[in-house]
Amino acid sequence: MFDIEAIRSDFPALNHHQQQGIVYLDSAATSQKPQCVIDAVSHFYENGNANVHRGAHRLSSDATKCYEQSRAKVAQFINCHANELVWTKGATEAINLVAYGLTPLVGKDEVILISELEHHANIVPWQQLAKRSGASLRAIPVDVDGIINTEQALELIKELKPKVLAISHASNALGNIQQVETLIKAAKAYDAFTLVDGAQSLLHLRPDVKALDCDFFVFSAHKCLGPTGIGGLYGRYPCLEALEVFQTGGEMVTKVSIEQAEFNPPPGKFETGTPNIAGVVGFGAAIDYLSTLDMEQVREHEMQLFTYLHQQLAQFSQVRILGDLNNNIGTISFVVSGEHPYDLATLMDMEGIALRHGHHCAQPLMAALGVNGTVRVSLAFYNNQADVDAFIAALANTLEMIA
């Protein structure tokens, strides 16, 4: 049985929020952290705190061991080899790394294909690659509710024959789960490089990168119970080898003279300088924690909450719900006619509800939907029905106040 109260007790901030009268419904922005993650970070600084890969002393050796063990844990979690996993500051840096590294491999007049659903982090780096290379950037459109028509997307891939396909596994703004396997397969027929933005899917869907068959997969630890400032890039090893180095400096080199440098093989050639060691260790603890859970039960709990949230929210006639409600990670975006999302979110905060408003770093999507922003409720497995009930009661009060 999925014991939600036992789960919630693992997250100290949730207890603090409850004491403060706050309900946290903003996990798409950042997830809460279980005590074991907090303890792992504290333990490293209190008992180790040595640099990795650089010292012969025991503290450095122990730190390196923990650091590389975390790499192995995350690699196993997403089903790849450890040497295919590059540590980055997060999904944003990982996408930038790939977009920059592909510069010599993308030619003039070739096509980089994304979708209108993308987070700015999966748009702007490709804009810059298009400028450097002379390629064109195109986007798969969404319908009036923010849903991609897969058949239309496949036709566009067939027409454009893209050199790069970069698409989110799940939308940060709407929660839509994309049929990325189908789109990747189609793009690969034209030898495209394929990248999946897994920032939102890592926690909810436990993606298998081999099953997705993508060339690159990016993620951020803080959206998957881990610390901020750490994330990763999975790359099919030959694809990592083909990328140009993104940043240069110490640690990522094997030999340096005044005239030139020789770089480590992947993943080392992309990991320059002293890394976020404590963050990596904390993320390893987050993966350990997730690995103790039955992910089918986790997913079932999230979907039960999501269905209940949708049913309750649909009772308000003035509320318009956006996105794909049949294929969703547990996020609902909505608008209220005549009301600005900022005003709604501010009033909801006064009721103790922590959620997100605005364009969610997805301005092209908002333009496609014809709205200036939305109010977003994003669930995680540590939420319960009482959280949803509190949100619905607060929304009812807010709508009555502004009527």
Question: Which residue range(s) make up the domain with 334?
Answer: 4-25+294-402
Residue 34 lies in a domain: no
Question: Does residue 54 have a pLDDT over 90?
Answer: no
Question: Does residue 150 have a pLDDT over 80?
Answer: yes
User: Are residue 142 and residue 218 in the same domain, yes or no?
Assistant: yes
- Rounded Cα distance, 161 and 394, in Å: 49
Q: Quick one: pLDDT at residue 262?
A: 95
Token pair belonging to 68: 């590389």
Q: What are phi and psi of 108, to 5 degrees?
A: -60, 140
Mean pLDDT of 206-228: 98
Tell me the CATH number at 397: 3.90.1150.10
Tell me the CATH number at 152: 3.40.640.10
Give the CA distances from residue 31 to residues 11, 291, 300, 381, in Å, rounded to whole numbers and listed in that order.
Answer: 10, 17, 18, 10
Question: Does residue 267 have a pLDDT over 80?
Answer: yes
Q: 157 pLDDT band (50/70/90 cuts)?
A: very high
User: Are residue 153 and residue 54 in the same domain, yes or no?
Assistant: yes
Q: Quick one: pLDDT at residue 403?
A: 79
User: Are residue 239 and residue 309 in the same domain, yes or no?
Assistant: no
Mean pLDDT of 133-151: 96
User: Are residue 73 and residue 132 in the same domain, yes or no?
Assistant: yes
**Hunting for tokens 């010292």 — which residue is that?**
55
Q: Which of 291, 311, 335 is the last residue before a domain boundary?
A: 291
User: Are residue 244 and residue 387 in the same domain, yes or no?
Assistant: no
User: Are residue 224 and residue 342 in the same domain, yes or no?
Assistant: no
Residues 6+ apart with CB under 8 A from 258: none
Number of domains observed in the structure of the chain? 2
Q: Which of 291, 315, 338 is the last residue before a domain boundary?
A: 291
Residue 309 lies in a domain: yes
User: Are residue 206 and residue 120 in the same domain, yes or no?
Assistant: yes
Of the chain, the percentage scoring pLDDT greater than 90 comes to 97
Residue 82 lies in a domain: yes
- Asked if residues 97 and 233 have their Cβ atoms less than 8 Å apart, the reply is yes
The pTM assigned to this predicted structure is 0.97
- Rounded Cα distance, 105 and 244, in Å: 9
User: Are residue 122 and residue 254 in the same domain, yes or no?
Assistant: yes
Helices assigned H by DSSP within 335-382: 341-350, 363-369
User: Are residue 389 and residue 358 in the same domain, yes or no?
Assistant: yes
Mean pLDDT of 340-359: 96
User: Are residue 124 and residue 46 in the same domain, yes or no?
Assistant: yes
Residues 6+ apart with CB under 8 A from 220: 90, 91, 92, 199, 202, 230, 231
pLDDT in tens, 59-83: 999 999 999 999 999 999 999 999 9
Residue 35 lies in a domain: no
Token pair belonging to 248: 């240069």
Helices assigned H by DSSP within 243-376: 277-291, 295-313, 341-350, 363-369
Residue 189 lies in a domain: yes
pLDDT in tens, 79-129: 999 999 999 999 999 999 999 999 999 999 999 999 999 999 999 999 999
Mean pLDDT of 370-382: 97
Token pair belonging to 300: 């079932």
Q: Quick one: pLDDT at residue 194?
A: 98
Average pLDDT in the chain: 97
Question: Does residue 1 have a pLDDT over 80?
Answer: no
Listed residue (290, 292, 294, 252) closest to 270, CA to CA: 252
**Hunting for tokens 């319960």 — which residue is that?**
384
Mean pLDDT of 167-188: 98
Question: Does residue 55 have a pLDDT over 90?
Answer: no
Listed residue (235, 259, 230, 264) closest to 247, CA to CA: 264
Residue 92 lies in a domain: yes
Q: Which of 264, 291, 318 is the last residue before a domain boundary?
A: 291
pLDDT in tens, 176-186: 999 999 999 99
- Asked if residues 112 and 129 have their Cβ atoms less than 8 Å apart, the reply is yes
Mean pLDDT of 36-58: 93
Residues in the chain, overall count = 403
In this structure, which amino acid lies at residue 215?
D
Of the chain, the percentage scoring pLDDT greater than 70 comes to 100
Report the catalytic residues: 361
User: Are residue 286 and residue 303 in the same domain, yes or no?
Assistant: no
- Asked if residues 364 and 123 have their Cβ atoms less than 8 Å apart, the reply is yes
pLDDT in tens, 320-333: 999 999 999 999 99
- The secondary structure element, H or E, covering residue 336 is strand 331-336
Residues 6+ apart with CB under 8 A from 330: 175, 204, 302, 303, 305, 306, 378, 379, 380
Residue 30 lies in a domain: no
Token pair belonging to 106: 């993308």
Residue 241 lies in a domain: yes
pLDDT in tens, 12-36: 999 999 999 999 999 999 999 999 9
- Asked if residues 136 and 114 have their Cβ atoms less than 8 Å apart, the reply is no
User: Are residue 348 and residue 287 in the same domain, yes or no?
Assistant: no
- Rounded Cα distance, 316 and 117, in Å: 26
